[in-house]
Structure 1
Amino acid sequence: MKRLLAWICGLLSAIGITACDYINVKELKPGVSTAVEVRERFGPPHMEWRNEDGSLTWEYSRQPEGIECFMITIGPDQILRSIDQVLNEGTFARVERGMNADQVRRLLGKAASSQFFALKQETVWEWKIDHGEASGGDAVFFTVSFNTDGRVTGTGRYTRYRGR
């Protein structure tokens, strides 16, 4: 039964439904769980990065409708090292002017959307970071702006107000 639940959660998360993330994160144990168990629960990663120490970091973004992005690090021994939900104030503060798009993707995962603004000659990526529970139903987004050289020029946030 537990294996069936893990399979269902993996399938749902692969298509962007995150109801099982809470269960998956609680049941996977750094230092104990294996890479195979992570894949069974979360499905295939959206992106994979090789780290200098031989470990791998797998990206599991829940954008555009979710408000989370999990970066899961697997050691060279195929044992889970860490699970980090990176859409948070600490990670946002690490985005700096001059970073390129790959560096930002590595920090925050795939953006919910990207839009080019011709008059300003900039591209803006955005991540949904709050469904709006705290603001009466209005979703909140974190943004990163890039110049035409693909370098960060700034960050921000905005609230998408619903008609009332």
Structure 2
Amino acid sequence: MSRLLSLWCALLTALGLPACDAYNLRALQPGVSTAAEVRERLGPPQVEWPNADGSVTWEYSRQPEGVECYMITLGTDGILRGVEQVLNEAGFARVQPGMSGDEVLRLLGRPATRQFFELKGEAMWSWLIERSTVVTDRTYFTVSFDRAGQVTGTGRNVIPKN
């Protein structure tokens, strides 16, 4: 039965539906699971971020429709060190004025949208952080950049339910 569920989750993941993230992430154990197991359960990462200590962090962003971005760190030995869901208040607080776009991507992963406002000379990236339901509106965490690509500020953008 577990094998059937794994196959079903793999199919959904291949279709771009991260419905089985919780199941797959629970099966991964820091200090035990290997890079091959992570790749088997979650697929290839969107980005591989090298770390100063030789480890690597794999990005699994569920943007633009999901509200998660998992950063999975693997040691130099290929063993899982940790899993972090970075689209949360602690992650948002790490974004500081003066950071580059690459630094923001490293913290929060791929954004749901990127816009440039020519008259203001400003770019804005947005991450979906709360999905629409029957009751709620869509909420995005936003990061604004100047023409030089440096963070000027952060905020929230709520898109009212139609």
Same fold (TM over 0.5): yes
**Aligned partners of 1:150 and 1:77: how far apart in 2?**
35
1:77-129: CA deviation from partner (whole Å, max 9, x where unpaired): 11110010000000100000000000000000000010011121101000000
Cα RMSD of the aligned pairs, angstroms, is: 1.6
**Aligned partners of 1:7 and 1:36: how far apart in 2?**
16
Q: Tell me whether 1:144 sits opposite 2:143 in the alignment.
A: yes
- Going from structure 1 to structure 2, the CA distance change for 1:141 and 1:107 (only over 3 Å counts) comes to same
- Going from structure 1 to structure 2, the CA distance change for 1:151 and 1:115 (only over 3 Å counts) comes to same
Could you tell me which amino acid in structure 1 is paired with residue 95 of structure 2?
Answer: V
Give the match for residue 73 of structure 2: 73
Give the match for residue 157 of structure 2: 158
Following TM superposition, the consecutive aligned residue runs of length 4 or more in structure 1 with deviations greater than 4 angstroms are none
1:108-156: CA deviation from partner (whole Å, max 9, x where unpaired): 00000100111211010000001145x9221110000011100000000
Identity among equivalent pairs (%):
58
Count of matched residue pairs: 162
- Going from structure 1 to structure 2, the CA distance change for 1:15 and 1:60 (only over 3 Å counts) comes to farther
Q: Structure 2 matches for 1:10-159, cutoff 5 A?
A: 10-133=10-133, 136-159=135-158
Provide structure 2 residue ranges, at least 5 long, that are not aligned to the other structure.
none
Which one is further off, 5-14 or 59-68? 5-14
1:14 Cα deviation (Å)? 4.3
Could you tell me which amino acid in structure 1 is paired with residue 62 of structure 2?
Answer: R
TM-score normalised by L of structure 1:
0.93
TM-score normalised by L of structure 2:
0.94
Maintained 8 Å contact 1:10/1:39 = no
SS of the residue 1:59 aligns to = strand
